[in-house]
Structure 1
Amino acid sequence: MGDVDGSDCVFCAIARGEAEASAVYGDDLAIVVMTLGPVTPGHLLVIPRVHAVGLEDLDEETGAHVWKVGHRMARALRRSGLRCEGVNVFLADGEAAFQEVFHLHLHVFPRYEGDGFRLAADWNTRTRASLDEDAEAVRAGLAALDSLGA
């Protein structure tokens, strides 16, 4: 995966102004840039300035800020004049979730009919008992976080 301190991280270099990027917005906690490999024109990346490989490594305050900036960027895309009939907000946390750059980042991109982007899955309906078991497992995860003070 990525380096721990961000010294070899392209997103850290962008955030420091040491690597080329088409910046849209920046503040003390995050920067927004155009991605080199967009799903559609206008595809943005919201990148926290602090190096965090994934959600587990990012403090909740900065994480909330990243989502707040992403929300604002989605609203801006709708007013940008770029083709935008809808917006996807997507975060890949971990290799199994298709994360490719191991510095957490939020994708915000315009969608429109025929843009070619698809999400495919086995969308099976689960039983209430299965959903209740999963809910209990997540509640146990929350209790574990609470016991850590996280």
Structure 2
Amino acid sequence: MECIFCKIVRGEIPTDLVFENDNLVAFKDINPVAPVHILVAPRKHIISTNEMETYDQSLVGEIFQVMQKLARQFGISESGYRIFINTGADGGQEVPHLHFHLIGGKKLGKCW
């Protein structure tokens, strides 16, 4: 499946990239909900958490390490931040490519 995040991963769509390695990319959200709103996505096209295979699960640990690093880099590690994943239409997933949101830089309200 082809999606906008696959094009970002391949460098076909310009983005404000803040981190990349062989497995992951991280870039600023184009419609941020907070002063810091970064998306972290695997380079491999995985639609959602529902499609993760056993061998994909090691990516989750790597993603959390990268988000911890980014929280420090963007100055939100001490004040606090939120990490979340949207899965499926009812869960609010808009792009069919697994990605994690890192948001912070202001006091965040309750999600529910």
TM-score after normalising by structure 2: 0.85
Matched, 1:94 2:88: yes
Equivalent of 2:101, from 78, 101, 107? Answer: 107
- Secondary structure at the aligned position of 1:96 is classed as coil
5+ residue gaps, structure 1, are: 121-150
1:47 alignment counterpart: 41
- Displacement of 1:56 in angstroms is 2.5
1:119 alignment counterpart: 111
- Displacement of 1:32 in angstroms is 0.5
Letter in 2 for 1:29: N
Report 1 or 2 for greater relative contact order, CA contacts < 8 Å, sequence distance ≥ 6: 2
Distance across 2 between alignment mates of 1:35 and 1:109: 10
1:16 alignment counterpart: 10
- Secondary structure at the aligned position of 1:45 is classed as strand
Aligned residues of 2:23 and 2:44 also touching (Cα < 8 A): yes
Bigger-Rg structure (1/2): 1
- Secondary structure at the aligned position of 2:68 is classed as helix
Distance across 1 between alignment mates of 2:26 and 2:6: 12
TM-score after normalising by structure 1: 0.65
1:62 alignment counterpart: 59
- Secondary structure at the aligned position of 2:74 is classed as helix
Letter in 1 for 2:100: L
- Displacement of 1:63 in angstroms is 2.4
5+ residue gaps, structure 2, are: none
RMSD of the TM alignment (CA)? 2.0
> CA 1:64–1:91 in 2, change beyond 3 Å: closer, same or farther?
same
Letter in 1 for 2:57: E
Distance across 1 between alignment mates of 2:87 and 2:76: 29
1:26 alignment counterpart: 20
- Displacement of 1:77 in angstroms is 2.2
- Displacement of 1:118 in angstroms is 4.1
- Displacement of 1:55 in angstroms is 1.1
Distance across 1 between alignment mates of 2:68 and 2:85: 13
Equivalent residues, number? 109
Letter in 2 for 1:34: K
> CA 1:41–1:79 in 2, change beyond 3 Å: closer, same or farther?
closer
- What is the identity percentage for the equivalent residue pairs of Structure 1 and Structure 2? 30
Query: C-alpha offsets along residues 125-149 of structure 1, whole Å, 9 cap, x if unaligned?
Result: xxxxxxxxxxxxxxxxxxxxxxxxx
More strand as a share of residues: 2
More helix as a share of residues: 1
